[in-house]
Amino acid sequence: MIARHGVTPLLAAILAAVLVMHFLGVMLSVPAWLLVVVVLLLYRDPDRAIPSRPLSVVSPADGRVISVEHTRDPYLDRASLKISIEMGPFDVYTTRSPVEGKVLEPPARPENKGIPHGVWLKTDEEDDIVVVMNRGRMNNKPRCYVGFGERVGQGRRCGFVHWGGRVDVYLPDYTRPAVAENNRVLGGADVIATLVHE
């Protein structure tokens, strides 16, 4: 499967390869077909098996866990567990919803100016999770596929970060982490934390 933002580049690359092959021959079209393969790799978006575990939080992205820390959530102004995942240049760039819930808009506060826009998810158990897609290596703006008021399923495709970037997840402070720094994770497939309810 290919990410929705990859459809146009892929079609353009295929068209270019076909035209080069038609007018210049098969041998001269090889570089153009190699470009098609590169575009397929960059925009690939494989299906993932979402784990069936109650109160689990799945990884929102492919990549390496670069930090697991208790800190302040700048969006909801609360103590929180923050898990940060760095997407590599060869990882899948699609981001996914870590939980099932409703998309809410974090309150806009003056002190939040200059920090990336986060998406606030509220689960059916009233847990608040904020997912932040930071700009990628080319300083390009992430794409978000979900809107405020929308309900999303766990593991659902919800965004895209060209060339990869960092995804931060702010969880309730009482959440139990299931990963550590330098762990590799797959978006939508690997559990990174468990929400705790007594």
Q: Provide the β-strand partners of residue 66.
A: none
- What counts of helices (H) and strands (E) characterise the chain? 2, 14
CA dihedral 63, 56, 101, 134 (to 10 degrees): -20
Q: What pLDDT score does 110 carry?
A: 44
pLDDT tens digits for range 101-143: 999 977 655 455 556 768 899 999 999 999 999 877 677 788 8
Q: What pLDDT score does 148 carry?
A: 86
Q: What pLDDT score does 113 carry?
A: 55
pTM: 0.88
Q: What is the mean pLDDT of the chain?
A: 89
Q: What pLDDT score does 108 carry?
A: 56
pLDDT tens digits for range 46-75: 999 998 888 999 999 999 999 999 999 998
CB burial string 120-157: b at 16+ within 10 A, e below: bbebeeebbbbbbbbebeeeeebbebbeeeeebebbeb
pLDDT tens digits for range 78-99: 999 999 999 988 899 999 999 9
Mean pLDDT of 9-24: 91
Alpha-carbon gap, residue 176 to 2, rounded angstroms: 33
CA atoms within 13 A on the CB side of 186: 9
Q: Of all residues in the chain, what percent carry a pLDDT higher than 90?
A: 64
Contact 76, 120 (CB under 8 A): yes
Q: Give the sheet arrangement for strand 157-160, strand by strand.
A: 94-96, 157-160, 143-144
Alpha-carbon gap, residue 162 to 141, rounded angstroms: 8
